[in-house]
Amino acid sequence: MKKVAIIGVGHTKFGRLNDKGLMDLLCEASLDAIEDSNTTNKDFDSVYVGAMSPGAFNQLSGVASALVDKLSLLPAAADHIKNGPASGGSAVKAGFQAITSGMSDLVLVVGGEKMTHITTPGYVTSNVATLTHPKVERRHGVSLPSFAGMLTRAYLEKYNAELDWISDIAIKNHRNGTLNPKAHFQRTIEDFMKSAIQKGKGNWDDIYDFLKDDKTNPIIADPLRLFHICPISDGAAALILCNADKAKEYSESPILISGIGQATDTHIVYEREDITTLKALRICSEQAYKMAKKTPNDIDVAELHDAFEILEAVQSEDIGFFKKGEGAKAAHEGLTEIGGKIPINPSGGLKARGHPLGATGVAQVVELVWQLRGEAGKRQVDGAETGITCNFGGFGNNILSILVERM
Amino acid sequence: MKKVAIIGVGHTKFGRLNDKGLMDLLCEASLDAIEDSNTTNKDFDSVYVGAMSPGAFNQLSGVASALVDKLSLLPAAADHIKNGPASGGSAVKAGFQAITSGMSDLVLVVGGEKMTHITTPGYVTSNVATLTHPKVERRHGVSLPSFAGMLTRAYLEKYNAELDWISDIAIKNHRNGTLNPKAHFQRTIEDFMKSAIQKGKGNWDDIYDFLKDDKTNPIIADPLRLFHICPISDGAAALILCNADKAKEYSESPILISGIGQATDTHIVYEREDITTLKALRICSEQAYKMAKKTPNDIDVAELHDAFEILEAVQSEDIGFFKKGEGAKAAHEGLTEIGGKIPINPSGGLKARGHPLGATGVAQVVELVWQLRGEAGKRQVDGAETGITCNFGGFGNNILSILVERM
């Protein structure tokens, strides 16, 4: 199989970007990646766009065809790849296959979403809830946050874990986010607490008390509260992929996509043997490790899909870093911090970097590229040579894992 | 590059299918293809679903993830590919690349759409119009039918052609449709005329007079009338693809995908040098011919994208069968009928087989497989060994061409 290198990356600021539309964001990330890769005057063969719901959120279809024209990349082939919140990861895989198939030599992959302009209450959550099973789950009012609440409850009971340990993940990711200029949130949870105290909203002995206050951190899906759940964000991220044989022509520090896996699980969540195990992640990460001839012990840094903070704990187990039931405790003990045994989400993760659905799977890879190039600034994981992602579609029924390493 | 074979096909009835939902249709076509390919007990590696707007039409997202579970193909990778009315063709290309990349050996590709249940006037046309440029075209009320009307007017004037010749394409495709049990319409235009006469709606000397009657064939987008435009349909079509080296293990008559091309053109239609030339089709069909080492003279049968009958004329030129300006006349002279120089749309095309958007690009390939296997019944093109498609996205700004031949 041909090898695929990442020779350029782009990443808009994530957040509430009032003056930018979806196409603006996709263009901005793409142009940054093109410039970063020194391919400004090159002919691209293919463009893949990962986005979950440009139709529902932005009244746009044909976003890939539109983008390739806006970027003056005609007549490059262009397709829009949809896989819910894992649309970005699926777009990376499509670009990877375009090159390994021999059909393309130079490929742009971009993921993005523009959501914060939507003011109808519940519109976004309802749209995302169309990922659940319509007859067995959705008609009864199930949404992704409610599944995450149930998963949290089951996890805490089964493994005798504490909700504060899940909070520790949010605390870590907000702290990491302050080190990432592109992140949606630029404040630690301690900052939020101090601000609330200054505004006279209350007084707390420690951060866990603050995080248990119904006014400042209301319950969204018991036991999960606001700070256990990622925000709705706008943003886009992009990669330039090329045949690895030619990577050094463009970049001094190309990064190899050496493993990639994707697997599905039951649509109906209650049909799974164990809600606290992400079987699809076990399978797809195993595929990625096998393709790259690596093991979890070889990984220096990971970007996981903490749309809900419980997911980072569970994923850190099923991707092979910790034994079942030990992921939340490991986070509590600091093992997943920058400088810890296995740094997870130095970018701030979905919690603090933000989660513009289709952007996330691409942004995870962009963060790893920065880490492996040594360009991650204050959040740099020292000497990182190998990284892996988990990009989570539906409620875990379609997951991708992408393994990257220095060439 | 690895070679890719089609070892099984499935195709639901197209039409107004009141008792079936989108997932039912996707399942039915998929199961038929699986059975046809003798892979019932095999593990699939990947599933690709082509569908334009399951979100807007069916309140479904994650259709690929849902389908792979419904078909008990877990944990196969699954993605949803969107490229407007060319979503089916793009899904075939994604499946092709999954195999040529070496990532998959056995792949299901299925395209479908469920639209006829939508009763809000203009909802479907407005949704499809989101493919046009939002600022330059859509805000002024442009829709795909209005573009087709303008293209027809320009073509008739530039090439001194007659509208009756465009009608001849509709007459041919309806006649072909009566030979295809899966087609949406099972009546010739002559049948419609006789029925109107019997109902006392009028009396006509010949079919062209009937087709100029404002009551029985109203103008939709001047000069195009109802019978020059494809219907809104429900339906799905599926292919099983495998590494060609293993094709004979499954099928006695595998069909090779020997060429595939995709190209884009300007999003804003007026920016094109010549509205009567489909530049993207010229490029993508040339890619397909080159990959397959064929020329237009080698083609025995073609399935083109006659969403509007003018498109079949223009496509028959830009895909290389006729000189510019001679496509409509060639149809008028019978050169594109079954038994003619180059039979086009023996299936009935989009006009009579119907046009469930995402299904079309896959259904075109299914028809060619039946033709090349000699299984096309009353519409069989004698001795067909090689066929090609045109699947048209947006208003010609993203086109695929797929070339198939006997192994």
Q: For B289-312, how does the pLDDT look when each residue is reduced to its tens digit (9 = 90+)?
A: 999 999 999 999 999 999 999 999
Helix (H) or strand (E) segment spanning residue A386: strand A386-389
Facing B90 at nearest CB: one of A79, A93, A97: A79
Q: Is there a contact between A1 and B78 if contact means CB atoms under 8 Å apart?
A: no
Within 10 A of A215 (CB to CB), how many other CB atoms are there? 8
Inter-CA distances, A229 with A166, A220, A225, A355, A386, Å: 11, 8, 7, 10, 28
Q: Is there a contact between A98 and B97 if contact means CB atoms under 8 Å apart?
A: yes
Please report the pLDDT score of residue B242 as a whole number.
98
Helices (H) and strands (E) in chain B, counts: 15, 12
Mean of the per-residue pLDDT values of chain B: 97
Say if B267 is an interface residue toward chain A (CB within 8 Å). Answer: yes
Both tokens of residue A69? 């024209």
> Has residue B233 got a pLDDT over 90?
yes
Please report the pLDDT score of residue B160 as a whole number.
98
- Backbone phi and psi for residue B404, each to the nearest 5 degrees, phi listed first: -125, 155
Q: What's the CA gap between A404 and A402, in Å, rounded?
A: 7
pLDDT digits (tens, 9 = 90+) for A300-322: 999 999 999 999 999 999 999 99
Please report the pLDDT score of residue B232 as a whole number.
95
Among B169, B215, B179, CA closest to B331 = B169
Among B113, B95, B96, CA closest to B47 = B95
Q: What's the CA gap between B391 and B374, in Å, rounded?
A: 23
Q: Is there a contact between A68 and B264 if contact means CB atoms under 8 Å apart?
A: yes
pLDDT digits (tens, 9 = 90+) for A202-218: 999 899 999 999 999 99
> Has residue B122 got a pLDDT over 90?
no
Among B71, B70, B67, CA closest to B79 = B67
Both tokens of residue B273? 């040098």
pLDDT digits (tens, 9 = 90+) for A370-400: 999 999 999 999 999 999 999 999 999 999 9
CB interface of B with A, residues 153-192, below 8 Å: none
Number of CB pairs, chain A paired with chain B, less than 8 A apart: 192
pLDDT digits (tens, 9 = 90+) for B372-383: 999 999 999 999
Q: At what angle do helices A144-158 and A309-318 cross, to 10 degrees?
A: 60
Only one residue has tokens 């067909």, namely: B384
Facing A393 at nearest CB: one of B62, B133, B263: B62
Question: By CB neighbour count within 10 A (0-12 exposed, 13-18 middle, 19+ buried), where does A142 fall?
Answer: middle
Enumerate the β-bridge partners of residue B11: B237
Facing B264 at nearest CB: one of A78, A80, A130: A78
Q: What's the CA gap between A97 and B288, in Å, rounded?
A: 18
Question: pLDDT-based confidence at B73, cuts 50/70/90?
Answer: very high
Inter-CA distances, A209 with A163, A177, A219, B319, Å: 12, 22, 14, 70
DSSP state of A104: -
Say if A279 is an interface residue toward chain B (CB within 8 Å). Answer: yes
Say if B131 is an interface residue toward chain A (CB within 8 Å). Answer: yes
Facing A265 at nearest CB: one of B61, B74, B393: B74
In the Cβ-directed half-sphere of A357, how many Cα atoms lie within 13 Å? 26
Read off the pLDDT of each residue in A128-152 and give the average, rounded to a whole number. 93
Alpha helix segments (H runs only) across B159-278: 163-177, 189-198, 207-210, 247-250
Read off the pLDDT of each residue in A49-78 and give the average, rounded to a whole number. 96
Contacts of residue B294, Cβ cutoff 8 Å, sequence gap at least 6: B258, B259, B386, B403, B405
Q: Please check whether residue B232 is in contact with residue B185, taking contact to mean a CB–CB distance below 8 angstroms.
A: no
The alpha carbon of residue A265 is apart from the nearest alpha carbon of chain B, in Å, by 6
Q: What's the CA gap between B262 and B301, in Å, rounded?
A: 20
Which DSSP string corresponds to A343-358? -B-TT-HHHHT---HH
Contacts of residue A167, Cβ cutoff 8 Å, sequence gap at least 6: A207, A208, A211, A227, A228, A309
The alpha carbon of residue B267 is apart from the nearest alpha carbon of chain A, in Å, by 6
Q: What's the CA gap between B277 and B150, in Å, rounded?
A: 13
Q: What's the CA gap between A239 and A36, in Å, rounded?
A: 10
Question: pLDDT-based confidence at A125, cuts 50/70/90?
Answer: confident
Q: Please check whether residue A167 is in contact with residue A208, taking contact to mean a CB–CB distance below 8 angstroms.
A: yes
Q: Please check whether residue B17 is in contact with residue B235, taking contact to mean a CB–CB distance below 8 angstroms.
A: yes
Q: Please check whether residue A68 is in contact with residue B264, taking contact to mean a CB–CB distance below 8 angstroms.
A: yes
Cα nearest neighbour of A282 on chain B: B75
Q: Is the pTM of this model over 0.95?
A: yes
- Tell me how many degrees the CA angle B176-B326-B223 measures, rounded to the nearest 5: 70
Within 10 A of B206 (CB to CB), how many other CB atoms are there? 10
Among A139, A51, A118, CA closest to A90 = A51
Residues from chain B contacting residue A62 (CB–CB below 8 Å): 83-84, 130-131, 267, 393-394, 397-398
Cα nearest neighbour of A103 on chain B: B97
pLDDT digits (tens, 9 = 90+) for B298-350: 999 999 999 999 999 999 999 999 999 999 999 999 999 999 999 999 999 99
Q: What's the CA gap between B191 and B368, in Å, rounded?
A: 27
The alpha carbon of residue B322 is apart from the nearest alpha carbon of chain A, in Å, by 23
In the Cβ-directed half-sphere of A62, how many Cα atoms lie within 13 Å? 28
> Has residue A83 got a pLDDT over 90?
yes
Contacts within 8 Å (CB) and 24+ apart, A324-327: A324/A159, A324/A276, A324/A277, A325/A155, A325/A158, A325/A159, A325/A160, A325/A161, A325/A276, A326/A159
> Has residue A23 got a pLDDT over 90?
yes
Read off the pLDDT of each residue in A234-257 and give the average, rounded to a whole number. 97
Please report the pLDDT score of residue A402 as a whole number.
98
Contacts of residue B104, Cβ cutoff 8 Å, sequence gap at least 6: B45, B46, B77, B95, B98
CB interface of B with A, residues 98-117, below 8 Å: 98, 100-103
Choose the mutation target among A65, A90, A127, A135 for the interface with B, i.e. most B CBs under 10 Å. Answer: A65
Only one residue has tokens 């290309």, namely: B93
Read off the pLDDT of each residue in A253-276 and give the average, rounded to a whole number. 97
Enumerate the β-bridge partners of residue B256: B5, B405
Please report the pLDDT score of residue B52 as a whole number.
96
Say if B357 is an interface residue toward chain A (CB within 8 Å). Answer: no
Residues from chain B contacting residue A260 (CB–CB below 8 Å): 103
> What length does chain B have?
407
pLDDT digits (tens, 9 = 90+) for B179-203: 999 999 999 999 999 999 999 999 9
Facing A80 at nearest CB: one of B83, B103, B262: B83
> Has residue A105 got a pLDDT over 90?
yes
Choose the mutation target among A22, A61, A130, A260 for the interface with B, i.e. most B CBs under 10 Å. Answer: A61
Amino acid present at B64: A
> Has residue B61 got a pLDDT over 90?
no
CB interface of B with A, residues 283-342, below 8 Å: 283-284
DSSP state of B85: B
Amino acid present at A223: P
Say if B216 is an interface residue toward chain A (CB within 8 Å). Answer: no
> Has residue A272 got a pLDDT over 90?
yes
Question: By CB neighbour count within 10 A (0-12 exposed, 13-18 middle, 19+ buried), where does B149 fall?
Answer: buried
Residues from chain A contacting residue B268 (CB–CB below 8 Å): 69
Choose the mutation target among A27, A47, A60, A103 for the interface with B, i.e. most B CBs under 10 Å. Answer: A103
Both tokens of residue B360? 């079309």
Both tokens of residue A24? 């603006």
Q: Please check whether residue A239 is in contact with residue A365, taking contact to mean a CB–CB distance below 8 angstroms.
A: yes
CB interface of B with A, residues 61-100, below 8 Å: 61-62, 64-66, 68-70, 73-84, 90, 93-94, 96-98, 100
Residues from chain B contacting residue A50 (CB–CB below 8 Å): none
Only one residue has tokens 């990962």, namely: A50
Contacts of residue B189, Cβ cutoff 8 Å, sequence gap at least 6: B170, B171, B174, B207, B210, B211, B227
Mean of the per-residue pLDDT values of chain A: 97
Q: What's the CA gap between A44 and A239, in Å, rounded?
A: 13
